Amino acid sequence: MSVLDLTQPRAWIAEATGVAVLTGAGISAESGIPTFRGPGGLWNNYKPEDLASPEAFVRDPRLVWEWYNWRRELVSKASPNAAHDALVKLEIKKRIYTLITQNVDGLHDRAGSGKILRLHGDIWRLRCTACGANWPDRPVPLPKLPPHCQCGGVARPNVVWFGEPLPDGMMKEAEHAVESAPVLLVIGTSANVYPAASLIPFAKQSGAKVIEINTDDTAYTDHVDCALRGPAGELLPALLA
Ligand code: OAD
């Protein structure tokens, strides 16, 4: 069903003991952060294999870092929007709650969300390619590209690139969160990237009601219980009011 009547999805959320949430780049669009696909999407102008793959980093770490440096700069000037804020309020209301995000921008953290599973990592952390050390890192712009670890090794953004597995145990934790919640809210993701997108059919199999919020149709629109069309910054506060 595709509706703009919020009565039914509101009732599902109100009655649910727990809610799991899966977010993607679309939730940060109204903060001015470009999405990856669709109009204005980053992957219209850049190739993921040139900028977001381990091979690209080995080939040209400086180029990859220039791109991440630019994205960090963009995010540092942005603020969480009404959709990020609405999720913080939802977390306070629900006993069982997990926010699963594919975003690396840190806007959920800045809004004040507590329990966050960052499936694709965090651009505000670096990881050493030599010793594996992992640390928070905020300077914008970075003073030297590529940055280095104290051990002398080259540091990379602590994010998941194409062809890389998710952090150990992360997907199991996300699946556990989804099967523990009678409602899954799917916000601003094209649901093209796996394994994250598999949480949607997984929720259906677990018997959850799945509510999608997106400005456009997605790979799973026909399979969800309710597809709400519109910007997350408007729809989510209205849905959760
Ligand atoms: P995409 O860029 O694939 O999808 C963004 C989705 O947000 C699209 O379905 C848009 O229609 C929707 N959208 C845009 N503006 C919106 C708004 N204001 N409100 C609601 N929806 C809106 O982003 P993701 O699905 O998050 O991975 O992409 C998944 C992964 O692909 C990313 O984490 C990244 C990327 O390559 C890695 O870097 C590993």
What average pLDDT values come out for the chain (241 residues) when binned by 10 residues? 77 97 98 93 88 95 96 97 98 96 98 97 98 97 96 98 95 98 98 97 98 97 97 98 92
Task: State the pLDDT at residue 1.
Answer: 45
Closest Cα to atom 8, ligand 1: which residue?
A: 190
Task: State the pLDDT at residue 46.
Answer: 86
Task: State the pLDDT at residue 2.
Answer: 46
Among the listed residues 212, 210, 201, the one whose alpha carbon sits nearest the alpha carbon of residue 182 = 210
Closest Cα to atom 30, ligand 1: which residue?
A: 193
With tokens 């381990």, the residue in question is: 54
> What is the H or E stretch that residue 23 is in?
strand 18-23
SS3 state of residue 34: coil
Closest Cα to atom 29, ligand 1: which residue?
A: 193
- Mutation to probe ligand 1, out of 81, 214, 228 (largest number of atoms < 8 A from CB): 214
Task: State the pLDDT at residue 40.
Answer: 87
Query: How many whole angstroms from its chain centre is CA 226?
Result: 20
Query: Is 108 among the catalytic positions?
Result: no
CA of 239 to the centre of ligand 1 (A): 20
SS3 state of residue 212: strand
The 3-class SS string of 155-192 reads: EEEEECCCCCCCCCCHHHHHHHHHHCCCEEEEECCCCC
Q: Which residues line ligand 1 (CB under 6 A)?
A: 24-26, 29-30, 35-38, 41, 48, 52, 102, 120, 160, 188-190, 192-193, 213-216, 218, 231-232
Task: State the pLDDT at residue 178.
Answer: 98
Question: Which strands sit side by side in the sheet containing 183-187, from one edge to the other?
Answer: 116-118, 96-101, 18-23, 183-187, 209-214, 226-229
CA of 96 to the centre of ligand 1 (A): 25
Task: State the pLDDT at residue 4.
Answer: 66
Closest Cα to atom 16, ligand 1: which residue?
A: 26
